[in-house]
Amino acid sequence: MSLVEVVLALVKILVIIGFCLNMSALTTWADRRQSAMLQHRVGPNRAVINLPSFVIQGALATPGLLLGAVAALGIGGAASPAAAMERMALGLQLTVFVVWFHLVVLSWRVHVKGPLNAFEAAIGSTLPRSYFFAGLFAHGAGIAVTSLLSQRLAAGLLPAASVYTGARVVGALLGALMAAIGIYAAMRIPKGTFGLRLAGTLHALADSVKMIFKEDFVPKNADKLLHSLAPMIAIFPALVVLAVVPFGSVLCFEDANKNGLFEFSDLAHVAPVMTRDAICAGHAVPLQIADLNVGILYLFAISSTGVIGAAIAGWSSDNKFSLLGGLRAASQMVSYEVAMGLSIMGLLVITSTLRLQPLVDWQNQNAWGVFVQPLGFLMFLAATAAETKRVPFDQPEGESEIVAGYFVEYSGFKWGMFMAGEYVEVITSSAILITLFFGGYSLPFLYADGVLVQIGDTVLFQYKMNHVAVTVLQSLTFFGKTILMAFFQVFFRWTLPRFRYDQLMKFGWTKLLPLAIANLVITGVGVVAIDQAGPGVQQGFALLGQLSQAVVALLLLAAPIALVWLLLRPVERTRFLHSTSTRFAAAAGGVKASPMQA
Amino acid sequence: MSTHAPESTKPWTKPRGTELTTKVIARPKRDFEVQAYLPAVAKGLAQTMSTFFRNTKEMVLGQKSDPVLEGFSDGVTTLQYPEEKRPYPERFRGLHRLTIRDDGSPRCVACLCCSTACPAQCIHIEAGEYDEESGRHGYERYPVRFVIDELRCIFCGFCVEACPCDAIRMDTGMHAVPYDSREQFIYERDLLMAMTGRDGSRKTANPRHEPGDPSHPGLDREHAH
């Protein structure tokens, strides 16, 4: 292992730990505080950093100017007419997107806060959703025009020089637009101080700062050493579990200095393109901290040590409630360990690997694990919730029975470590869930050499992409999917009531375990049967897999449109002016700050 | 005259000798849908998600219902306090203010009616005489100090009722601000005179007849008719 690889490993560790801790703080805030939204209340979101307005103005104007420069330079210069055509098409779509998006935002701000000048009044006279639908239409028109132009270019009817000019014009237009938007946004910020709230997420930061300064209480008869050690033992396995989870495919560097050694000078030479099977000729850097051949076994081995922290915390606190919580945690986690391991055996039989990277590749080539093993997914989801001691399996901290369970005697930052540990576990279990069942870092039809939409033997769409673009897209996919899955798990906590302890044990041993074994047996029989069945059946299953990928891809495309459509749906309300203060408020124009109010 | 209730109204207790009527409520069935647990989980998740996303969207996009004007509507009704405030009723008794005359001097004539009427004894007044040259000398006095302890005040409004000159009012529409020491709640004369009513004025609509004005009846200590 060369020095470069050590440095890269450290970078990967920093990325993963940073992601875990940041997301755990955010998830804690979202889960524990923002559940108030279900009771039609707003959770605490008032934490604010007051910045001088020029900082905000700079933060708004600089990206606009930088992106504008990048767009103007990047789209302008292209190597061949075909590449120029492609960049022009991309630039046109980006321009349309930037225009309609900012028109929607500005129109919405004008509707909420009122116009600042005649220009804004003109923008605000049209509803945001009209801009959105006009933008969708413009996207379609742009695609039609550019495909027509590229056909003419391919047929030799369009001179190459005009394509270059077109690309430059589109690049300059997009750049100017972005710069103008950045400057205008900066100009809208009034002088004075600006309260930075980041949609309330700063409250997570405020919470953790508060926890550091709170009193650290240790019970008189507690075991001082173990009491201090327990939170660390609890948080450690949650953090190291992600070491074997890949957050991207392989990053390939060329052997630029031709000596076969991986040196720092090689880092500047990322391979420009990859073949479809992603074989790296130079130095391959797998985007996972440790590529163990027993990956999944490592997962189970480490995550099962999480029980030690809870049990020690329960015992060392010298409190009956803590002890009960620790005992419950220990027995529950040991019980569900069995079902958890057995529930994914079916998937492992199908993919016949314990490494996580080939597992993801298999899902990318065939179908996501959730389509192959739906029952296995549900069982693994339940077992994971029990392993991380989360609702509906959170008897170890059942508030109504044993106050807070094993961490009832903890306060300040030690309590914060238990909390962070719980939510790091949510993040890591989400990462494992998506790696096993939702294709990990892969996107449907995205391969190492670009997009290839193929149903059966017919190729519907093909688009080559370079290596860096694919790798960045895959990493973003991994982190995005993990956040979505964590959010999904948060919803479980908001929805489900807690099981009784005997129900929990019965469910684990008499339902989950036999079901997992049955699932394994049926899967094994099925795998053998399909192997023996001959090429016709196998091709049928391959087609089914491609169809499942197509369904996911269509959902991925439809989701943003549905999201924007839902966001821009109008809201109608009725007003009942039923008291003097209501009439007073109506006369004053609502409950916004006004001199007529306190 | 009969004391029995008319026959049209049903008695709310069981009349003696009648049979008990019972309504049998069927036990919820433990059919497959309930026992399987998953359909119920899906239903619950759908309910939670729709509520959460609708409320989040309306709050983030500024479409949240006005907590006072649309209090009966669905959705988030939290007031984001310093930016949004629940308006007080028109006749809300807020912090006191001392009204002023056209020349900026206090309307108060230091008659001590308010401090006498005050059940909490939170008003302290030190009266002073106007200068000899002033037309008001010998006719009325003025408060050298006028102190209200806003922590002691019970906001009953008796001082306002007692005042013969419309000099003290509680129409500022403000509630006591949380200070960090008791001294800050002791409001002195100049602060009380600086506060405005809800209409933004430091005066009152009631006219004040100064000595020398044509509308002044001409009464003072020396010249009674």
Q: What is the DSSP string of A14-44?
A: HHHHHHHHHHHHHHHIIIIIGGGGGGT---S
d(CA A300, CA A220): 36
- Average pLDDT value for residue range B99-126: 92
How close B158 comes to chain A (CA, Å)? 21
CA distance B61 to chain A (A): 8
Q: How far does A527 lie from chain B, in Å, by closest CA?
A: 27
Residue B223 banded pLDDT, cuts 50, 70, 90: low
Contacts of B197 in chain A (CB under 8 A): none
B84–A593 CB contact, under 8 Å: yes
What is d(CA A491, CA A493) in angstroms, rounded to the nearest whole number? 5
Contact B162, B99 (CB under 8 A): no
* Res. A597: pLDDT tops 70: no
Q: What is the pLDDT of residue A203?
A: 86
CB contact under 8 A, A495 and B55: no
DSSP label of A463: E
- Does residue B212 have a pLDDT over 80? no
In this predicted model, which residue has the larger pLDDT, A73 or B172?
B172
From residue B155, alpha-carbon distances to A45, A129, B151, B182 in Å are 33, 51, 10, 18
- Can you give the pLDDT at residue A520? 93
Which pLDDT tens digit goes with each residue over A328-356? Answer: 989 998 888 888 989 999 999 998 888 88
pTM, 2 dp: 0.80
Question: What mean pLDDT value characterizes chain A?
Answer: 86
Please state, in angstroms and rounded to a whole number, the distance separating the CA atoms of residues A129 and A107.
9
Of B41, B56, B67, the CB nearest to A496: B41
List of chain A residues whose C-beta atoms are within 8 Å of the C-beta of residue B44: 495-496
Q: Note whether A105 and A119 are within 8 A (CB).
A: no
Closest to A165 measured CA to CA, from A54, A222, A91: A91
Is the confidence at residue B2, as pLDDT, over 50? no
Amino acid at A461: F
Task: Out of B59, B73, B174, name the one closest to residue A573 (CB).
Answer: B73
**Residues above pLDDT 90, as percent of chain B:** 34
- CA of B95 to nearest chain A CA: how many angstroms apart? 10
- CB < 8 Å to B48, chain A: 38, 491, 494-495
Q: Hey, is the C-beta of B69 within 8 angstroms of any chain A C-beta?
A: yes
At A136-195, the pLDDT tens digits run 999 999 999 988 888 888 887 777 788 888 888 888 888 888 889 999 888 888 888 888
pLDDT, tens digit (0-9, with 9 covering 90-100), for A309-333: 888 998 898 888 999 999 998 999 8
Rg (CA), chain B: 32
| Nearest neighbour of B48 by CB, restricted to A495, A571, A582 | A495
Q: What are the tens digits of pLDDT across the range B157-166? A: 999 999 998 9
Nearest CA in chain A to B87: A597
Confidence check: pLDDT of A80 > 80: no
CA angle A358, A362, A364 (to 5 degrees): 115
Residue A46 to chain B, least CA–CA distance (Å): 9
pLDDT at A92 over 60: yes
What integer is the mean pLDDT of A356-377?
Answer: 89
Which tokens in the block code for residue A568? 């821009």
- State residue A76's pLDDT score: 64
Q: Does the structure show a pLDDT above 60 at A126?
A: yes
Rounded CA separation A174/A180 (Å): 10
- CA nearest neighbour of A491 among A34, A25, A19, A21: A34
C-alpha distance from residue A379 to each of A326, A373, A510 (Å): 24, 10, 13
Quick one: closest CA in A to B55, which residue?
A37
B155 touches chain A (CB under 8 A): no
Using alpha carbons, select from A177, A35, A14, A53 the residue that is nearest to residue A493: A35
Q: Which amino acid is at A375?
A: L
Single out the residue of A488, A477, A486 nearest to residue A24, CA to CA: A486
B177 by Cβ neighbours in 10 Å (0-12 / 13-18 / 19+) ranks as exposed
Residue in B closest to A487 by C-alpha = B49
Between chain A and chain B, the number of residue pairs with CB atoms below 8 A apart is 124
Give me the mean pLDDT over the B121-146 stretch.
Answer: 89
Write the residue in A112, A491, A581 that is nearest to B68 by C-beta.
A581
Cβ within 8 Å of A, B 16-55: 38, 41, 44-45, 47-49, 51-53, 55
Q: What is the pLDDT of residue A598?
A: 43
Nearest CA in chain B to A200: B60
pLDDT of B70 above 60 = yes
Show the domains of chain B with their CATH numbers.
Answer: 31-87 (no CATH), 97-194 (3.30.70.3270)
List, in sequence order, every beta strand (DSSP E) within A1-134.
49-52
User: What mean pLDDT do residues B127-136 have?
Assistant: 86
> Who among B47, B74, B85 is closest to A598 (CB)?
B85
pLDDT one-digit tens code per residue, A59-71: 888 888 888 888 7
